[in-house]
Every structure is written in C-alpha cells, then in structure tokens.
Amino acid sequence: MPLYGDKAREVGARLAALGVREEDLDESFVHSGGKGGQNVNKVATCVVLLHRPSGVAIKCQRERTQLANRLIARKMLADRIEEIRLGAASKRQQEAERVRRQKRRRSRRAKQRMLRDKHAQSDKKAARGPVGRDD
C-alpha cells in the first residue's frame, strides 16, 4: 500500500537519493505493545522494515496508527542508512560531538580567565555606592 501526502513524498525522495528502492524493502506488521489501549492490542500497528541489501532492520511502534508508523519507520531507515554511508559527517555523529564538546572541562587558563572577569565585574558593581535619596 503506497504512502500519500507531502511528508511521504519528501521521505520517498530522501530514500531515492540514498539509493533505496521500495522493491528492496520487506515490510511486515505486528501487534504493538504498551500505551494505546485496545487499538494497539487488537490491530497490527507496529511496523518492521527490513532493507535487504544493507541488512538494516527498523521497528517502529511510536504512534497508534499503522500509516504513521510506516512513515516514521521510513524516516528512521533513511537516517540509519545516511549514518552508515556518511559516518562522521552524519547528523547524529555531529550532535554527539557537539554535546561532547559542551561537556568537556575548561582548561585551567580558561577557567582562571573566566573567574578573573567575574571578579572584575563584581568589583565594578561593588564600587557603585548605595543609591541614596535626595531629601
């Protein structure tokens, strides 16, 4: 069953740019679990997507509807294949590297400079006298 809509076309174009064809995908549906009430317990809304050439398998049960999960699974597949192909240049790797840099400790010199600037600002504020009234 083909996917329709702007988002589906966008994901389809992204997969096509990565060289992923619909014929290479094995799509199966299973019962989801967790939140969602009777819908997820009775309807096979969980999507399992397998890209045969690369061996990448994606399982998506984020939403309550099968159609939404099919779209999300394809986005996840595009992300995974992009990550494999691009390696260090992928978005996920760049985000992880950015977080790692933010968490890194400051060097001793940078820490001293930062504290010196704070003390200078504090001294500047302390030098200002109390605001008095003109009576």
Query: For 103-119, how does the pLDDT look when each residue is reduced to its tens digit (9 = 90+)?
Result: 888 889 999 999 999 99
Q: How far apart are CA 76 and CA 14, in angstroms?
A: 11
Q: Closest by alpha carbon to 35, among 71, 2, 62?
A: 62
Q: How far apart are CA 41 and CA 32, in angstroms?
A: 6
Q: What is the pLDDT of residue 97?
A: 87
Residue pLDDT, tens place only, 9-44: 888 898 888 888 889 999 999 887 777 677 777 888
Please give the residue that has the higher pLDDT: either 9 or 1.
9
Q: Closest by alpha carbon to 59, among 73, 45, 71?
A: 73
Residue pLDDT, tens place only, 70-129: 999 999 999 888 888 877 667 777 888 889 988 888 889 999 999 999 999 999 999 997
Which stretch of DSSP H or E encloses residue 70?
helix 66-86
The yes-or-no verdict on residue 133 having pLDDT over 70 is no
